[in-house]
Amino acid sequence: MTLRDHTAVADKADEGRVEGAATADVPVSRAPSERKEAAPARRKGRLAALDGLRFLAAVAVVVFHFTGQTPPAMEHIWGRPYQAVFPDSHRYLAYGRLGVDLFFLISGFVICMSAWGRSPRDFFISRVTRLYPMYWIGVLVSAAVIYLFSTPMGHPNPRVVFANLTMLQRPLGVASLDPVYWTLWPELCFYLTFSIVVWMGLTYTRVAVFCGIWTVAAVLAPAAHLPLMTVLVNPTSAPFFIAGMAFYLMYRFRPTPLLWGIVLMSWLLAMHFILAPHGGRLNWDAWNPWRGWLVLLITGFFALIAAIALGWTSRIQWRWLSVAGTLTFPLYLLHDVVGLTAVHHFAGRIDARVLVLSTVAGLVVLSYVVHRLVERPIALYMRRWLNSASFGLEAPPTRRG
């Protein structure tokens, strides 16, 4: 059984994200009806604290995959039982998998922020150019490593690569080339449903209503046995996206009882899904931690985003945090196949702690190089091309002659 098989078993109920969506400037334009109920617009600029949290969430997921996975997967990576590699720290590092939930919280905040004041066309272009260039790079790099080197990932049918390049492998019924890609489907579903509100025009009321409708749908779809709706609303991930949007409304306008109610309901549902014995976020047969730590960590994630929404972190403006934030998506997409292959190759030759630290550091450097020299130029070219293209259904002009 390959590492892919072990990970698929452990992550089926665990569903293991990030994307880490890019933090964007906060638009200041508002509809006249909004100005009456809103506080003054926030200053434009990146939220360095949010970027820093995104990077920490990515690093937590990376360290989890190297040191905290379930015993069969760990033995497949390191060639020996995890008790012999990380006897004391394994049970603590396993909580790094929860970094994905922090990703989703941040994504709800950031997508709402980046879409405000934008047309549906602009929203579409921003999401496509943010996700696909780096994702395509990640798929191609991972495929090259898998087929050219001895890896713990197995050798999937090449058809898997083509399906994965669409980012629609889950509805196509095709396995992800890299197990970490599972987080991208909830992100895509969020973009799809949220685009309806963008098309209508974002206002405080419309986003709040959207949060309420999504919450109800996430609860009722599984109960009503509606598979298509359940796949679309992603019940186990929905509370984090919804809370993130409510926190952004607090940040843009002001905290209200309604918004705190949305956050509280989202927190309760998040607790339900993460502690549910069957059909929840975690596979208890693969990982059986102390429930108290789960409650404390998820609650801590909510508290951190609340602090940002309430402006308590406004003095944190270190530029290096924003730079780190831009590396989150490349690091998330490249670390699993590339990093685990390196660890698998050098395991037993180098001290395990030194190997993990050096591999993580190397992946951060690789992510920076890929972002600056490959991802960003491709994204800029795509953005210019899409901005100049017609999105109408009319035929383009015929060629002369």
Q: Residue 74's pLDDT is what?
A: 77
Over residues 172-205, the pLDDT tens digits come to 999 999 999 999 999 999 999 999 999 999 999 9
* 219 located within any domain: yes
Q: Name the least confident of 13-22, 59-68, 98-107.
A: 13-22
What's the whole-number average pLDDT of the chain?
Answer: 85
Q: Residue 207's pLDDT is what?
A: 97
Q: In angstroms, rounded to a whole number, what is the distance separating the alpha carbons of residues 120 and 349?
A: 53
Using CA atoms, how far residue 195 sits from 111, 192, 346, in Å, is 10, 5, 46
> Which residues is 347 bridged to in the sheet?
350
* 397 located within any domain: no
* 70 located within any domain: yes
Over residues 283-297, the pLDDT tens digits come to 887 788 888 999 999
Provide CB contacts within 8 A for 187, sequence distance 6+.
17, 19, 21, 107, 131
Q: In angstroms, rounded to a whole number, what is the distance separating the alpha carbons of residues 27 and 271?
A: 33
Over residues 40-93, the pLDDT tens digits come to 445 445 799 999 999 999 999 999 999 888 877 778 888 887 777 888 888 888
Q: Residue 72's pLDDT is what?
A: 77
Residue 250 is encoded by which pair of tokens?
A: 């607090």
Most confident stretch, 14-23, 88-97, 205-214, 348-357: 205-214
Is the pLDDT at 136 greater than 80? The verdict is yes
- Tell me which of 14 and 310 has the higher pLDDT: 310
Q: Which domain holds residue 81?
A: 3-387
- Tell me which of 211 and 81 has the higher pLDDT: 211
* 233 located within any domain: yes
Q: Residue 339's pLDDT is what?
A: 92
- Mean pLDDT value across residues 159-178: 93
Residue 16 is encoded by which pair of tokens?
A: 């293991």
pLDDT band at 218 (very low <50, low <70, confident <90, very high): very high
E-state strands within 185-305: none
Q: In angstroms, rounded to a whole number, what is the distance separating the alpha carbons of residues 349 and 216?
A: 53
Q: Residue 26's pLDDT is what?
A: 37
Q: Name the least confident of 17-31, 159-173, 318-332, 335-349.
A: 17-31
Over residues 324-376, the pLDDT tens digits come to 999 999 999 999 999 999 988 888 888 889 999 999 999 999 999 999 999 99
* 400 located within any domain: no
* 133 located within any domain: yes
Is the pLDDT at 275 greater than 50? The verdict is yes
Number of domains in the chain: 1
* 24 located within any domain: yes
Over residues 239-271, the pLDDT tens digits come to 999 999 999 999 999 999 999 999 999 999 999
* 398 located within any domain: no
